[in-house]
Structure 1
């Protein structure tokens, strides 16, 4: 699933944000060692965080039907996973990096979701929208400076792109066989001893037995 979103973002950069630019798109960690090896204009799309999007979690089960319209199984609804990417531009001059970031921002911000034409594999098979946000403030428990510190590099202008992709949980509940017969009610005689006991299990006097028989016969 993650590699399918990677490929969708690669195509989004090259086909929508920077068409015909020839800029390389990579997904490596932008460490100092990586930056030292870079020798061409590059857009780095670094996946730095993976967590469930709890706001989009659904409850209950979804019925699956066969060709006759019968329920064959029940599955849990898809979970949504937030994939957070740090998008940076790398050239020889800061001015050129800013131009690339501007083009990237305009390319991403036009879409509220990853275009369906760019989705492949299991993500496309689910058939649900894949929401996407760009340049929103980070959560309170995470700062971009912390990300750069963990990478061992200097703070650099970047775009935060977050994709919430649906994922099948694999939870399946088998459905029971269909009902083939209607409800049936049977009647039978009861013995004198059974008729001599009321519903609460108390003994009934002989004088009350005929009435008990009539009530028992009516059940």
Structure 2
């Protein structure tokens, strides 16, 4: 699930906030060594915290459907995990970094959840909303200054981006759909005829 959120964010950032700029996108830890190796303007989305959001847990199963709307599997009640990203811009001038952060903020704040067309894999299969929030006050235990200290770098302007994504505990394939087939039945003389419906699984005769 985490890599699917990564790719959804990459697609969203590249297509909207950074469209036509040629700015790189990285998910590496923005340590001092990484910063020294960087050789192009870069937006960094560093995943620094993962924790379960139990307030979103619900009872019941979730149906997975194919492109035609046919149910293909059931998912047990999913667990939701908040993925927290430290979003920073890296160039040779602070003013350029501020412009990039402004573009990121302007585009990301438009969305209360990941767009459905950006989701793939298990996120697309579950078809559940994936909430996201940018620049909200960090929750308890998520002080960004502590993150910078752990990275060994200097404090830098950043956006705190939190995406809350579901994880399916178990996927159970659905039984074949039931079809009805009507057959004609008559007695040996052919004098009487009746019609009888036989219920068979799809694809069987």
> Structure 2: where are the runs of 5+ without partners?
64-72, 173-205
Equivalent residue for 2:39?
39
Structure ranking higher in strand proportion: 2
Equivalent residue for 1:150?
150
> How many Å separate the matches in 1 of 2:76 and 2:84?
25
Q: Cα gap change, 1:171/1:12 in structure 2, threshold over 3 Å: closer, same or farther? A: closer
Aligned to 2:130, the other structure's residue is in SS state: coil
Equivalent residue for 1:13?
13
> How many Å separate the matches in 1 of 2:122 and 2:141?
31
> How many Å separate the matches in 2 of 1:120 and 1:74?
18
In the alignment of these two chains, the number of paired residues is 166
> How many Å separate the matches in 2 of 1:29 and 1:127?
30
Equivalent residue for 1:105?
105
Q: CA deviation at 1:78?
A: 1.2
Equivalent residue for 2:162?
162
Q: CA deviation at 1:139?
A: 1.1
TM-score normalised by L of structure 1: 0.71
> Structure 1: where are the runs of 5+ without partners?
65-72, 173-219
> How many Å separate the matches in 2 of 1:75 and 1:94?
47
- Higher Rg: 1
Q: CA deviation at 1:56?
A: 0.5
Aligned to 2:153, the other structure's residue is in SS state: coil
Q: CA deviation at 1:142?
A: 2.1
Q: Root-mean-square deviation (CA), in Å?
A: 2.2
Q: CA deviation at 1:140?
A: 2.3
